[in-house]
Amino acid sequence: MPPRKDRPVTFELPKLETPADAVKTAAAIVEAVASGDLTPSEADDLSQLVDCYVRAVETTDILERLESLEGERLK
């Protein structure tokens, strides 16, 4: 396996508890790029991570709603 070429990023993301929190996180990432604390490529990597979190939460929410609807239908 080739050695890693990236490095750990020292950046404290705002807490993500809901998809709506992603807006604050995206704003923090943009601010960090503007101030020079993150490179644009680091920001892109972090943004992809936030997007993955949002999609996972949304998918979980959809599955829970679907299971609830199917449960009601079977009653």
Residue 75 lies in a domain: yes
17-51 tens-digit pLDDT: 888 999 999 999 999 999 999 999 999 999 999 99
45-60 tens-digit pLDDT: 999 999 999 999 999 9
Both ends of the chain: CA-CA distance in Å?
A: 54
d(CA 59, CA 55): 6
Residue 27 lies in a domain: no
Give the model's confidence band at 4: pLDDT under 50 very low, under 70 low, under 90 confident, else very high: low
What is each CA distance from 6 to 1, 17, 65, in whole angstroms? Answer: 14, 27, 39
Give the residue numbers spanning the domain of 54. 39-75
Based on the structure, what is the number of domains in the chain? 1
